[in-house]
Amino acid sequence: MPENQMYLKMKALLRNVVPDVELRYKAGLAEQINVLKAEKNAVILGHNYMEPALYHSIPDFVGDSLYLARMAAKTEKDIIVFCGVKFMAETAKILNPTKTVLLPAAKAGCSLAESITAEDVRNLRKRFPGVPVVTYVNTYADVKAESDVCCTSGNAVAVVESLKSDTIIFLPDEYLAGNIARETGKHIIFPTLGAKGLEFDTSLDYQMVGWRGRCEVHEKFTVADIRSVREQFPDVVILSHPECSPEVVAASDFSGSTTAMIRYVEQSNAPHFLLLTECAMGDNIIAANPEKPMLRLCSVRCPHMNQITLEDTLKSLQLNQYVIEVPEPVRLRALKAVERMIAIS
């Protein structure tokens, strides 16, 4: 697509979201990326949290981590460029070992993925022998390799229910686990730090064992935020991601994965919507649905997702960086957990 055409395409969607001076600059970058993408036989996957100019210009597929994992599994291109964070790019590599998987920014991590190690999972298995381990997809490959099955926020309930087990270990997101426990009617216990290290009070009635990882974005939303917004906009419909605390989810009108939130907004006619998730998603919804009155709390941003820029994506294709590798023995074990997750979608 000639540069001017890219600019016009982006302007049609983004004229009320991105100022013209920035649109012209970013359309130039997007055009260069798309030329290189074709030359190198690459596919670009873009998470729903990408900034609007990137989200609406270069990805071949956009969506949540479950959808993007499915697209990564299906692609026949030689290179997968993942505009998301490292655990997502690793999942693409787990599913597609013969492809080159590139992550445009080396530091695009995740507080949830950092919260647990493979050794932590092995210790939990020793503490709770025979109890199946469900791991949120927001973890690194070596943690997935220690798990029975992965899940995303979109299919976590289905995964938990599919196991038909009296007790499960659900890692590492404390809040997602709490929300799943509430939805499935299970009781959950979490570790506390005692004299001998991490301790679990197994004298309680419990069917789930959790961990204390949190998303550094979603943990910041509070019930006080919700009350304040409802006071100012009494007719607002509030949507929260299940990585928010159970109290925030309970005080919201709807909770679901990023894809479920987008669908909800598209299919509803509220006078105002407030999304409790990474702010860029609100911009992306407005771009595609300019008539939707969206409120956002943009002081809460994901520093990892925001590492991914058009400039770095161009460099990624030019310099073949940053290549994601997963050691083969780890990949083979992680693959089983990821494939099970995809099958339960």
Pick 97 or 303: Cβ nearer ligand SF4:
303
Nearer to ligand SF4, 32 or 111 (CB): 111
Nearest approach, Cβ of 28 to ligand SF4 (angstroms)? 28
Q: How many CA atoms lie within 13 A of 277 on its CB side?
A: 32
CB of 74 to ligand SF4, least distance (A): 23
Q: Which is nearer to ligand SF4, 68 or 217 (CB)?
A: 217
Q: Given the complex with ligand SF4, which of 29 and 239 has the nearer CB atom?
A: 239
List strand residue ranges (DSSP E) for 92-191, in order.
100-102, 133-136, 149-151, 168-171, 188-189
The per-residue b/e assignment along 328-343, b for 16 or more CB within 10 angstroms, e otherwise, is eebbebbbbbbbbbbe
DSSP 226-275: HHHHHHH-TTEEEEE-TTS-HHHHHHSSEE--HHHHHHHHHH---SEEEE
Tell me the CB-side half-sphere exposure of residue 170, using CA atoms within 13 A: 33
The backbone region for 112, taken as left when phi is positive above 0, alpha when psi lies in -120 to 50, beta otherwise, is alpha
Considering the rule CB under 6 A, would residue 3 count as an interface residue with ligand SF4?
no
Considering only residues 48, 111, 115, 309, which one is a binding residue for ligand SF4 as defined by CB under 6 A? Answer: 111
Task: Give burial (CB, 10 Å; 0-12/13-18/19+) of 195.
Answer: exposed
How many residues make up the chain in this entry? 345
Within 13 Å, how many C-alpha atoms sit on residue 44's CB side? 27
Interface pattern 44-73 for ligand SF4 (x via CB under 6 A): ------------------------------
Pattern of binders to ligand SF4 over 203-222, x per CB under 6 A?
Answer: ------------xxx-----
Closest CB to ligand SF4 among residues 111, 252? 111
CA distance 82 to 2: 24
Binding mask 153-192 for ligand SF4 (x = CB under 6 A): ----------------------------------------
For residue 269, what are the contacts with CB-CB under 8 A and spacing of at least 6?
none
State how far the Cα of 154 lies from the Cα of 160, in Å rounded to an integer.
Answer: 12
**Which CB sits closer to ligand SF4, 169 or 276?**
276
Q: How far is the CB of 2 from ligand SF4 (least distance, A)?
A: 35
The correct pick among 10, 45, 80, 85 for binding ligand SF4 (CB under 6 A) is 85
- Cβ proximity to ligand SF4: between 31 and 174 the closer is 174
Distance of CA 114 to the CA centre of its chain: 14
Compute φ and ψ for 30, nearest 5 degrees.
-60, -40
Among 72, 95, 110, 237, binds ligand SF4 (CB under 6 A): 110
Residues numbered 259 to 288 that lie near ligand SF4 (CB under 6 A) are 278
Sign of the four-CA dihedral 214, 219, 223, 226: negative
Piece in contact with ligand SF4 (CB under 6 A), picked from 93-101, 226-234, 298-306, 332-340: 298-306
Binding mask 129-148 for ligand SF4 (x = CB under 6 A): ---------x----------
Stretch that binds ligand SF4, among 6-14, 97-105, 107-115, 198-206 (CB under 6 A): 107-115
305 scored as a contact of ligand SF4 (CB under 6 A): yes
Instruction: Say if residues 207 and 166 touch (Cβ distance below 8 Å).
Output: yes
Q: Are 188 and 178 in contact (CB under 8 A)?
A: yes
Q: Which is nearer to ligand SF4, 109 or 191 (CB)?
A: 109
Q: How far is the CB of 172 from ligand SF4 (least distance, A)?
A: 11
User: How many residues line the site for ligand SF4 (CB under 6 A)?
Assistant: 13
Q: How far is the CB of 241 from ligand SF4 (least distance, A)?
A: 8
The span from the CA of 296 to the CA of 312, in Å, is: 26
Please give the residue ranges that form the binding site for ligand SF4 (CB under 6 A): 85, 110-112, 138, 215-217, 243, 278, 302, 304-305
